[in-house]
Chains A and B, each alone.
Chain A
Amino acid sequence: MRIRSVPMREVHVWEMPVRLYHWINALCVTALCITGYVIGHPPAFMKSTEAYFNYWFGTVRFIHFVSAFLFFFNFIFRIYWGFAGNEFSRWYNFIPLKRCQWKEIIDVIKVDVLQVTHKQIDSIGHNALASFIYFITFLIFLLQSLTGFGMYSAMSSSFLPKMFAWIVPFLGGDMHARQLHHILMWGFILFAIVHIYLVFYHDYIERRGVTSSMIGGWKFIEEDVIERHDAKTEDCPKN
């Protein structure tokens, strides 16, 4: 039996609202990508029938719209939690305004992407590169909500979609809004591939229990990392 005796402590990194947000978001994005792709490329599995027997395409669109509303409110909640949550979920982690965040981004690229240096990245929550990528995904979330509800507003009289109606003329018409909506969907898919892979990768290399941390909320963190984290000054977000 092989034993690794590194002094570790458990840190409560992801609070319940963050975990709930994550899984609702994962569910919504999966549903939206699948139904969205089907709406763009409907399979021809019916013929020689009449329209009044069926409504499957309408149902697919209905699921897409319901998921979109859930996704949107979940996203709004996460923005709120960026101001109300713990140090690992705060907004300042996601926007690299500080020098040390850019330094860590370069470090992560060297250590984990290119694998040219071997050292430990000190972040307890998201590392600086991951946070920055999440910030970009938030921008994609926003654009996807704008284009989606913008197109939806033409067939809705309710208040929320109407708020987005301006985006369609701003982009020059529904054709452009739809094109952007399609392009951004691939942003979600590419992100999901890399995101899931990297969770496995970090769990495999770092052994901090990152995969299960999004279920239970706790991560194993080396004691020296915690000490360095506590010693961080105001210049750098404590993430």
Chain B
Amino acid sequence: MENKQPSFYEEVKKDGISRKDFLKFCATTAALLGLESSSIGQIVKALETKPRLPVIWFHFQECTCCSESFIRASHPIVANIVLDKISLDYQETLMAASGAQAEDAYKAVMAKFPGEYIVMVEGSIPTENEAYCCIGGRSAKQILEEAVANCKAVVAWGNCASAGCVQAASPNPTGAKPVHKVISGKPVINVQGCPPIADVMAGVVVHLLTFDRIPQLDELSRPKAFYSRRVHDTCYRRANFDAGLFVESFDDEGAKRGYCLYKMGCKGPVTYNSCGIIKWNDGISYPIQSGHPCIGCSEAGFWDNGPFYQHLPSIEGFGIETTADKIGLGLGVATVVGVAAHAVVTNVRKHREITNAPETTEVETPKDK
């Protein structure tokens, strides 16, 4: 590894990316991050002058869909920024090195850039029995704790690293936990989604590089620029929701007309993500635009709040498709029956109090005659 780290711009220039495309990328990223136009210059300057970010990228219990999301990013610079051009010294899926060389690579980063390198994590960490996820004879927890000790910040890619995702779904056999529940003392950025949008991933990296600090985060440590609004509130089908026009089944007329997918179990109203604005695959589409309800993949515990095609989650122990409202309705009927039974019993048991209350007397009145 060379001592002088080339800047991001120097790297992409070598790949034949024009100055114009580079500036376009900087402007787009500034817009995505919700920054004012004056900050475009800051981003350009940072990417031109600052050395690449030293990064160690770990894969723990995951499916690599976060990496896949990035590889599939259609914008060349977006794909490059994480996969090639930040100094990705250790990335299990993509690095050429293996075995001892791979181990040496990430140990070299830790030794060379203490307090400067970023740890990026894909996947959850098993805590029930650490042996469920071991690399090079060491457990995920040990590797992570060692790497995090001297890092600058931690980026948790995707739902696995941010909230546990499918591994942490009930019954969670490996005791899978997200990154922020395993480590402490370092800032963790949860870049939610299963997978997160590639442009969002790039935006987070650019922010880290440009401003040397972590982006503004919400209460769940998600970057506010991308996760402050619900899919529902940015949905192009929202007008149909307010008008009360809903798809009732996937093959009805409403589905053809593009009505709201609320009744098909769309989790848009309870999901914070940028799918409705940035969209996927270079802004071509996103699930709802393609006629499928949002499954809430950027929310903690979305696997346990299923089924996907049901508005309210099923309640455990009452059988599939038994929602709070179905149980409530049952309890309501039971209460009415109970009340009716009580009324009957009252008339039997309290007969004396009702008909012969104390000091009741019969008085003859002229009207009675």
Contacts and interface: CB of A to CB of B under 8 A. Distances in A.
B359 interface: yes
B359 A4 contact: yes
Given A1-B368, A2-B360, A53-B243, A175 B313 contact: yes
B64 to A, nearest CB: 25
Interface stretch (B12-20, B32-40, B328-336): B328-336
A4 B360 contact: yes
Contacts of B182: none
Contacts of B271: 174
A46 B244 contact: yes
B278 to A, nearest CB: 18
Interface of B: 218-220, 229-230, 233, 239-246, 248, 253-254, 257, 262-263, 267, 269-272, 296, 299-302, 305, 311-313, 323-325, 327-328, 331-332, 335-336, 339, 342-343, 345-346, 349-350, 352-354, 357-365, 367-368
A57 B241 contact: yes
Nearest to A60: B244
The binding surface of chain B is classed by DSSP as mixed
A2 B350 contact: no
A40 B270 contact: no
A231 interface: no
B243 A56 contact: yes
Given A42-B263, A51-B243, A205-B354, A179 B312 contact: yes
Interface string A161-189: 00001101100111111110011011001
A120 B254 CA distance: 62
A189 B350 contact: no
Contacts of A52: 239, 243
A83 interface: no
Interface in A199-226: 201, 204-205, 207
A41 B241 CA distance: 12
A49 interface: yes
B230 A154 contact: yes
Given A1-B365, A40-B325, A166-B219, A56 B244 contact: yes
A28 to B, nearest CB: 19
A190 B272 CA distance: 33
B206 to A, nearest CB: 26
23 contacts: A1-B365, A2-B361, A3-B362, A4-B361, A5-B359, A5-B361, A6-B358, A46-B245, A47-B253, A48-B253, A57-B241, A61-B242, A115-B349, A115-B350, A173-B300, A174-B272, A175-B301, A178-B270, A182-B324, A189-B328, A190-B328, A197-B342, A207-B357
